[in-house]
Structure formats: structure tokens, C-alpha cells
Amino acid sequence: MSRRETRAGYAFLTPWLIGFLGLTLGPMIYSLYLAFTKYNLFQDPQWIGLDNFVRMFTNDPVYIQSVQITLVYVLVGTPIKLAAALGIAMLLNYRDKGAGFYRSSFYAPSLIGASVSVAIVWRAMFSTDGPVDNSLSLFGINLGGWVGNVSLVMPMMILLAVWQFGAPMVIFLAGLKQIPRELYEAAEVDGAGPFRKFRSVTLPMLSSVIFFNLLLETINAFQVFASAYIISNGSGGPAGMTNFYTVYLYKRGFPDGQMGYASAMAWVLVIVVAIIAFVLFKTSKSWVHYAGENR
Amino acid sequence: MSTIEVPRAELLEVSAQPKPKRRAPKRKTINTIIWFVALTALTLIVLYPLFWLFLSTFKPSGEFGQNPGLIPNNPTIDNYIKVLEGIGGTPLWRFFANSLFIAVMAVIGTIASSALAAYAFARIQFKGVGLLFSAMIGTLLLPFHVIIIPQYIMFNRLELVDTYWPLILPKFLATEAFFVFLIVQFIRNIPRDMDEAARIDGAGHARTFFSIILPLIKPALITSAIFSFIWTWNDFLGPLLYVNSPEMYPLPIALRLYNDTTSTSDYGATVAVSFLALLPILIFFIVFQRFLVDGVATQGLKG
């Protein structure tokens, strides 16, 4: 490790390093400071200790509701999305010929899902007398519009997330392709049925990919913003049911000018994400099986 | 699940007993037909919103309440004619040009800065590289909401709000770790022989990077360019924070303008603009889908 190498290393890394220090690490430290202040952009930040956090958990029912609906969205939406991704990846893995077309078609929504256009389409499709409502009424189900309905707007948001199953599906499919066929053949010789083969071969061999997808999709789900914002026209309605964590954070920070409070909210999110990542990494040792390991 | 192995198992049996010989291929054909039907049905469901959006752009505004189906009763191109005029005195092409400018700058910045950083992480042994690499991976998982407030305050102090700087500058500083990571993984798969030979011949890192590594990582750069373009084109929060003047709006924010003011009376205009805004991405997707899908697959697996 010569000095010349070190100099070359930092030369190549300069743009990233400026970005990391100036646009990530520096802002993180400043936002940690702001989390303990009252700040509205016009007066100097005023140190208030833990007040923001205390207010969040004891004196802000809107915050508690936004936490609740975000948790429902993450805890219900992510498993459904991953199950759909895995199921369809297994279906695609059945044969290679013709699978490429389906693989690409299923991936398309993941790419455009967060766009404003899609949010607008989604709102139109689930509105009163929209296509979804009309198809359901053919089966005698009359729900009325989903968008303005307090109990249906969450299922609608979850469907939008599940619709984007393509990204984890592509990763699952790549993982499935790596499972040696001999393992299935050996299981068959031992008399394993389809369910047994799935449980004893597919799941363990895929565990590192499941871990990766679970981590990534959970963290992404916590950060849903554009679609919720557009679908509710920025209001978080009906009755706060689309007031997701980041939507509320944005509203507190920018239109309301409560930058200290919003920073405190952001740090709670960072801590929650860090805890989830930590727990997943810790428990992964007991359920994630890496190739080459004999266990 | 079981179906994956069914044909093989039967072929094994076939060689032992001649009797089920005719049944084996038949069952395979049936499975294949079921497979095609199931996947085609799923594709139709998944792509339905896109078909619906496209065909709805030809529905006259009055038809929206009555006809939720796919096919317009009285197809018309009035929506497009009306929409092309723009809104609030700003023509539609202006929003397209704004989006295009931001996206192209983002692509250039992202590729240049991410490739440099990736080369350092993958090929140069220097003090602190391990720690910095961990920090880079850490930013992959960091919710970006924790930095938007200080960044806003900073750009506000620098009086750069209502310019494109806050949207473009970070891209030139490799702030999206996804791309750095993607290119690092790609470089690590390239055998070291060639660049080590070049080094022995006296080439410095700059030379090695530009004449050997850069040409070899073209697929990773193309993948990064496409993703960077599409993500920037779709970005909503960035422009929502930093762009205030309507004539500077990129499409996602302009779209909201159509949507807000006309949602009750003019669905036709809203869907037409939504479709036009999505069109470049759909074309990009159709042309480059192999790159995109493979990019996601390899990035995921090696993570």
C-alpha cells in the first residue's frame, strides 16, 4: 500500500467523497442537531432538547396515525408483494422458451410505479365507476369508489405496491436459476412431493435472495411518497389514511415550516430502518444458507 | 414447483418401460399450455392499467363517467390537440425540454462520477478503502428523508432554490450509491490480468482506467445510464422542493398542474399528459429491457 496508490485512490474518489461529506454525512449531522431544535428557516434554530420526540409520541395523534398506517402498509404489503414475486418467478422458471417476454412485461410496472402518471391512472382506475369498480360489480360486488373510502384506500395503495412485484421477481428468478437440478432429483428419489421440495430445497437454497429482497423491499416500503401524495392531492386523506410517514414528514417540514420537528421524524425513521436491518442481519445467521456452507 | 421436474422424471421412466411413452410428451404439452395461459392472463392483468391509460387518451372528456372500459365509444384526438397547447401560458414541449435537460445532465453526472468511484473501490488498494466502502454501502440503505431538510436549507442559503443545481449537482458527486455499487460489482468480475499487465508496463491508474476498464464496463455504464435517466425523469420530490417557477417545471410537477386544476372537469387532458409523460420511459423500456432486467438480477444476487 504505497503513498502513490493512496493518492491515486483519493483522486478517483474525490467526487464521491465531496458528495458523501457535503451532501450525505454533513447533512446527517446537521439534521441530528435540528431534531433537538425548533426551526422554521427564518429564525435561528432554538434548542429544545427532547421536546420534538416527546411531542411526537405523546401529543400528536396525526403522527401516531401516520406511523400506524405506514406499518400496516409495510407489514401487509411487503409479504404479499414478495410472495407474488416468488410465486411468479417459480412459474417463469418452469421453462425458458417464451419466459423472457413475460419476465419483461412483469418488470415494467416496477420501473414506472413511482411516477406521477401511474398514481393518476391508479386514482382513475379505482374511482367511483372506474374500471376496477365496474369489473367487481360483474361479480355482484359493489364497493363504490376506493379513493375516497376510508377502509378501501389502504388496500388500493397495497395493490399499487404489489403491482410492482417485478423487481424482486427478477432477483428471485436469478436465484432460482442457480439451484442445482440434482437437489430436486435427489429429493424426488427420497419421495418428496411438491410441497416438501419447496420447503426443503427451494426455500433454503433461496434464503440469501429472500433475505436481500426482504431487506430492500421493507426499507423501500417505509419510504412511499409520490403515489400517496398524488392520490390524495397532497392532503393525506381520506381521514389521514394516505398520510404516510414521509408524506407527513414533508408536510411538517415544508408547507408547515417545522424543520426541527420534521428532522426528528426523519431520525426516528432512520433508527427504525437501522433496527430492522440489524435484526434481519442478526437473525439471518440462523435461516440464511449461503452456497458452499454445509448447514 | 413440482412441475419443474415432472418432465424429466417421466423421461427416466420412459427408458425403462415403453408403455407410458406416448403419455409423457402429451402431459408435457398440457403443462406448457397451462403455463402459457396462466402467464398470458397475468400479463393482461398487470399491463391492463397501461392499456387503459393509452386507450383512455382517445375518450372525449364527457365519456369518463359513463365508460370505464378499455375501448372509447367515440374515439377522438381532441385531448392531444388541447394538451399540446400547454397550460397557463407554458407550452407542453417546454415541460418535456425541462425534463430532458435535467435527465441528460443527471445521466452524464451519474456515469462519470460513479465510474470513477467504482474503479477506486474495486481496483485501488489504499488506506481507508474498507471503511469508505462500508460507508458507501450504508448510504444504500439510508432513508434519504434524513438529508432532504439540511440539503434544502443548504441550497436555500446558497440561493440555488428555483434553479436546477440542487437536482443536477448531487448526480455529479455520485450520491446514488446504487450505481457505484453496480459498477463495482461489474469491475470485480473482470479478470485482473489485463490491467495488471498494463500496470507492469508502466501504465498509471488513470491510463488503466480510461483505456482498459472503461471500455470493458460499457454494459454496466449503459445499465446505469438507463436507470439514471428513468429515475430522474420520474422524480417527483426533488422538483417539488426546488423548482417553483412554472416555466421551469419538469413533467411530473407540470402533470400535477393539469391534474389539480382540471381533475373534475377534464379527465381527457389529464390522461393524455400522463400518457405522454410516460411515453419516453416506455420506449426506453421496450428498447433496453434486457439491460434493465439483467442489471437488476445481477445487482440483487451479488448483494
Q: Write the ipTM.
A: 0.91
User: Is residue B21 a part of any domain in this protein?
Assistant: no
Q: How far is A271 from chain B (nearest CA, A)?
A: 10
Q: Does residue A15 have a cis peptide bond before it, meaning omega lies within 30 degrees of 0?
A: no
Q: Same domain, yes or no, for B149 and B58?
A: no
Q: Same domain, yes or no, for B119 and B144?
A: yes
User: Domain residues for B199?
Assistant: 81-300
Cα(B54)–Cα(B75) distance, integer angstroms: 12
Q: What single-letter amino acid sits at A12? A: F
Q: How far is A1 from chain B (nearest CA, A)?
A: 6
Nearest to A43 by CA among B153, B243, B155: B153
Non-local CB neighbours of A91 within 8 Å, separated by 6+ positions: B35, B38, B39
Q: Same domain, yes or no, for B75 and B91?
A: no
Q: Same domain, yes or no, for B48 and B85?
A: no
pLDDT at B275 > cutoff 80: yes
For chain B, how many structural domains are there in total?
A: 2
Q: Same domain, yes or no, for B200 and B287?
A: yes
The pLDDT-based confidence of A291 (bands split at 50, 70, 90) is low
3-state secondary structure of A236: coil
The pLDDT-based confidence of A294 (bands split at 50, 70, 90) is very low
| Nearest Cβ partner for A246 among B49, B120, B145 | B145
User: Is residue B129 a part of any domain in this protein?
Assistant: yes
Cα(A124)–Cα(A230) distance, integer angstroms: 12
CATH number at B281 reads: 1.10.3720.10
User: Is residue B40 a part of any domain in this protein?
Assistant: yes
**If you count DSSP H runs as helices and E runs as strands, how many of each does chain B have, helices first?**
15, 0
Average pLDDT over chain A, rounded to an integer: 91
CB contact under 8 A, B281 and A115: yes
Q: Same domain, yes or no, for B230 and B291?
A: yes
Residue of A12, A96, A205, A231 to mutate, interface with B, max B Cβ within 10 Å: A12
Mean pLDDT of the region B34-59? 94
Cα(A44)–Cα(A291) distance, integer angstroms: 55
Q: Same domain, yes or no, for B75 and B216?
A: no
Nearest CA in chain A to B171: A19
Q: Which residues of A touch B42 (CB under 8 A)?
A: 88, 102, 106
Q: How far is A141 from chain B (nearest CA, A)?
A: 16
Predicted model pTM: 0.90
Cβ-count burial B80-105 (b if 16+ within 10 Å, e if not): bebbeebbeebebebbbebbbebbeb
pLDDT at B10 > cutoff 50: no
Q: Same domain, yes or no, for B71 and B118?
A: no
User: Is residue B261 a part of any domain in this protein?
Assistant: yes
Nearest CA in chain A to B169: A19
Q: Where are the beta strands (DSSP E) in chain B?
A: none
Contact in structure between B124 and A14 (CB atoms under 8 Å): no
Summarize pLDDT for A80-104 with one digit per residue, the tens.
999 999 999 999 998 888 899 999 9
| Nearest Cβ partner for B146 among A5, A175, A269 | A269
pLDDT at B27 > cutoff 90: no
Most trustworthy range by pLDDT among A200-209, A253-262, B281-290: A253-262
Q: Same domain, yes or no, for B60 and B125?
A: no
CB contact under 8 A, B150 and A30: yes
Share of chain A above pLDDT 90, in %: 71
Q: How far is A58 from chain B (nearest CA, A)?
A: 22
CB contact under 8 A, B43 and A105: yes
Beta bridge partners of B87: B90
Q: Same domain, yes or no, for B154 and B88?
A: yes
